[in-house]
């Protein structure tokens, strides 16, 4: 069994990562933060998704000694000049809350007409398997769409209940099947670009 570490506590995200990596490495096991005793998460203080992903992957490798993956993703709303962006998970302040983040976003867009509610999800995935830039890889993906006016759906997490992707009109990403979302999501695109790189490196 080949183990990699994913710097996340989000079980759905860990399962998604494992599903996509299994297509390339059939003996892969993805461990998360809750599988590592005493893990100290770094402060995500970088200005870009890629910067935060690398920061977390480096910390994961330093703490566990395992090849480490990390992602940073968020929702970029055109009417809000690209915000919440890298602040997506913390948009409404501490403690982190998807419900409060969604409520705040709806309030900020309350007067924005439907035709100006365009947005996209962005994800950067970093892979660190040694010390130094030569052992670091990054990949990214996007999912364009728009923000609706009420929460719908019970799948996914974060802003999925408010986001309708261009490729699946009529349904929020929280209403899509797991397979459907994987096929079009920003994280899905980033992971599918990263998975062959991880397989090549770990598979020798």
Surface-to-core class of residue 174, CB atoms within 10 Å of its CB (0-12 exposed, 13-18 middle, 19+ buried): buried
Nearest to 128 by CA among 4, 3, 44, 36: 4
32 is in an annotated binding site: no
Angle (nearest 5°) at CA 25 between 2 and 40: 45
78 is in an annotated binding site: no
The reply, when asked if residue 120 is annotated as ligand binding, is no
Q: Which of the following is catalytic: 34, 35, 40, 72?
A: 72
186 is in an annotated binding site: yes
Residue 13 marked ligand-binding: yes
Active site residue 72: yes
58 assigned ligand-binding residue? no
Contact residues for 127 (Cβ-Cβ < 8 A; gap 6+): 57, 67, 68, 69, 136, 137, 138, 194, 197, 198, 201
160 annotated ligand-binding residue: yes
Residues in the annotated binding site for Mg(2+): 72
Residues in the annotated binding site: 8-13, 72-73, 157-160, 181, 186-187
Residues in the annotated binding site for substrate: 8-13, 73, 157-160, 181, 186-187
Known catalytic residues? 72
């Amino acid at each position: 069994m080949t183990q990699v570490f994913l710097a996340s506590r989000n079980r759905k995200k860990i399962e998604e990562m494992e599903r996509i990596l299994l297509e390339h490495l059939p003996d892969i096991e993805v461990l998360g933060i809750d599988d590592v005793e005493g893990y100290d998460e770094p402060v995500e203080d970088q200005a870009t998704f890629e910067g935060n992903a690398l920061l977390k992957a480096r910390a994961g490798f330093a703490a566990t000694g395992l090849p480490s993956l990390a992602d940073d993703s968020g929702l970029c709303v055109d009417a809000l000049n690209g915000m919440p962006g890298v602040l997506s998970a913390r948009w409404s302040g501490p403690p982190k809350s998807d419900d409060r983040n969604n409520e705040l976003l709806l309030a900020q867009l309350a007067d924005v007409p439907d035709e100006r509610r365009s947005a996209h999800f962005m994800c950067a995935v970093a892979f660190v398997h040694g010390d130094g830039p030569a052992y670091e890889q990054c990949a990214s993906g996007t999912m364009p769409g728009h923000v609706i006016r009420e929460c719908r759906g019970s799948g996914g997490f974060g802003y999925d209940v408010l986001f309708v992707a261009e490729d699946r009109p009529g349904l929020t990403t929280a209403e899509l099947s797991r397979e459907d979302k994987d096929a079009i999501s920003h994280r899905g695109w980033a992971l599918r670009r990263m998975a062959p790189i991880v397989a090549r490196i770990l598979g020798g």
